[in-house]
Structure 1
């Protein structure tokens, strides 16, 4: 696609090339992708020098991206990693421009070198626009993070800035021709709409991600769990009801003789037991067994708590939180998901 797009430029300058026009255009596209690869490698090398391990480098029609095993630890690291890619493109642009000065001015080599210089300068300048998912958005995110001491606020602000950029790209394609007294070209509008949609998608994902990460950072058992009290496995329904009333809670966890949470009481089944037989009905008759390991530490918070809940939630949709050896709460996976989404 990019080769076909660049071919008319080559044909206009060198009509005598004939079928070789597309070969020359392909050479430029290969150089362009090489520039994108250098851009992404610059991100990765600077990140690794700052203790952040790159996991993969991806090239796409829209450019590329680098993913990491973890987030940057400081605003400075985030900013340096973000700006490294555009700086690499500026170096390539300067190198291509310098080489173009020493070749024949009207040659194919000069055309390719000038095109490479322009493309790299454009990639650098466009990526420095302050809005996610562009690199300039990473710098803006780091700046807000450094000022506010809140990483997630930086992500949300930079994401909203990216949405503004996305709208601006399409507005530029529509309004600039009108201001110049001509009609917008369909090709330019469609291409700008595609780029704007890509940027909007990335910016929206950043805003949602920032909000989700903020929710994760504030995650506590008290926020997502329901207070519960332990009852012995040999107890009766009447004793379980009395224990719940005394503790002022509704949820009940049945513990085994060694004190391990072994089941939780089904409240609907508990309520269905008639009062006249509650004293002789074992509480285990209205309990749902819990697999071994469906327990989390009630003192943990944030990402650590979420990781524990993910592990335990893989065994059971209901997990028991224990604090200092005592049953603290029941946590349902659906409540955790709802808390993060909200």
Structure 2
């Protein structure tokens, strides 16, 4: 599965924050490989599940059969890592940054910074994962015939079955599975409408979730195998995962459809530049006289040093304003607080989320100041775009 997270399409975050409850175990092609604490739970579950089979093949191991089962879990998740790494490498081939690869209770997740810009990119990034799993599964099937009896053969047998199952299930045409992204790419390519494609693939995921709940009935009626409590619990967990993932994808698609209405230039406030040592009261007076909605501080040479924070100005009592410099209520101007005046849509949202602030400086290509963009104005425009 490859949930894509909108972010910068060319550079990864300078200091990516690690999600709570995760451990970094290495990196692949510059992307962190993380393991969640829930992985240890599923590893223990796998160890106890395969222990009877290990005991059957190698009697007398005692406690060591569980250790062998844990090793099987590690080997299995290494193949899951291959699945996710293939997503990451394909995404990098198309120029996307990959923040991390995370192994968790239900498998793995590759966090790709940015969304596919064309159907072919969506298709290739999605389909390569299941194909990798199928390739590993088929290779393990071939090895099974030449592997001598014993624990190694049991490991190869488990590797073959698990990867074939992962490959096939991930091709189910419904989000958030890889097959859902393949379906999305197909509908997107045929209709030219990415939003419609996501909605179709999302409904595919919801239908898959409902059908999955029928598995215990199929297990009993078709295969004459009475379902256990674990079977019911498993389909409920997986069904909830599919339903919530599909719903989240559909919600995100509806939000993205409104993003083109967000354009920084018309939202910018007219800006007044003042010396950074000017008294705050005088700066406010000049801004009112010139009908400016924002104030930027500059040095004597004209270099911009900060953006006056509106909330800080309002919190400053009137009687103190003549006695403090305007720079005292200005936020130092950092690189990520300067945005191109023409930024719009998803690029605008990504820039704001990368470095949260209340104000940003908009500049022309020439370097000339165009105005100041307030986050509150962007939020209001986004809410109004629903109507």
**Structure 1 residues 216 and 117: CA distance shift in structure 2, 3 A:** same
Tell me which residue corresponds to 1:42: 86
Tell me which residue corresponds to 1:338: 383
Determine the C-alpha separation between the residues in 1 that align with 2:163 and 2:355.
49
Q: Secondary structure at the match of 2:173?
A: coil
Tell me which residue corresponds to 1:242: none
Tell me which residue corresponds to 1:87: 131
**Structure 1 residues 310 and 23: CA distance shift in structure 2, 3 A:** closer
**Structure 1 residues 17 and 214: CA distance shift in structure 2, 3 A:** same
1:100–1:110 CA contact under 8 A, matched in 2? yes
Normalised to the residue count of structure 2, the TM-score between the two structures is: 0.62
Is 2:113 the partner of 1:113? Answer: no
Comparing 114-123 with 298-307, greater Cα deviation is found at 298-307
Q: Secondary structure at the match of 1:57?
A: strand
Structure 2: unaligned runs, 5 residues or longer: 1-44, 270-285, 296-329, 334-338, 360-369
Instruction: Note the alpha carbon deviations across 1:125-169, whole angstroms, 9 max, x for none.
Output: 111111111111111111111112122222222112111111222
Instruction: Note the alpha carbon deviations across 1:41-85, whole angstroms, 9 max, x for none.
Output: 111111111222222111001100111121122111111111111
**Structure 1 residues 79 and 32: CA distance shift in structure 2, 3 A:** same
1:145–1:153 CA contact under 8 A, matched in 2? yes
Is the radius of gyration larger for structure 1 or structure 2?
1
Tell me which residue corresponds to 2:202: 159
Root mean square deviation, CA, Å:
4.0
Determine the C-alpha separation between the residues in 1 that align with 2:346 and 2:154.
53
Quote how far apart the aligned CAs of 1:88 are: 1.2
Instruction: Note the alpha carbon deviations across 1:159-206, whole angstroms, 9 max, x for none.
Output: 121111112222112443144556432111111111111122211111
Quote how far apart the aligned CAs of 1:111 are: 1.4
Aligned residues: 285
Match for residue 184 of structure 1 among 219, 227, 230:
227
Determine the C-alpha separation between the residues in 2 that align with 1:259 and 1:217.
29
1:131–1:163 CA contact under 8 A, matched in 2? yes
Normalised to the residue count of structure 1, the TM-score between the two structures is: 0.69
Structure 1: unaligned runs, 5 residues or longer: 229-253, 264-290, 317-324
Quote how far apart the aligned CAs of 1:256 are: 3.8
Instruction: Note the alpha carbon deviations across 1:229-264, whole angstroms, 9 max, x for none.
Output: xxxxxxxxxxxxxxxxxxxxxxxxx9644453359x
Q: Secondary structure at the match of 2:103?
A: strand
Is 2:292 the partner of 1:260? Answer: yes
Tell me which residue corresponds to 1:17: 61
Is 2:105 the partner of 1:73? Answer: no
Is 2:141 the partner of 1:97? Answer: yes
Determine the C-alpha separation between the residues in 2 that align with 1:182 and 1:11.
24
Is 2:238 the partner of 1:195? Answer: yes
The within-5 A match list for 1:1-342 is 1-104=45-148, 106-180=149-223, 183-219=226-262, 256-258=288-290, 260-261=292-293, 301-304=344-347, 306=349, 314-315=357-358, 332=377, 335-336=380-381, 338-339=383-384
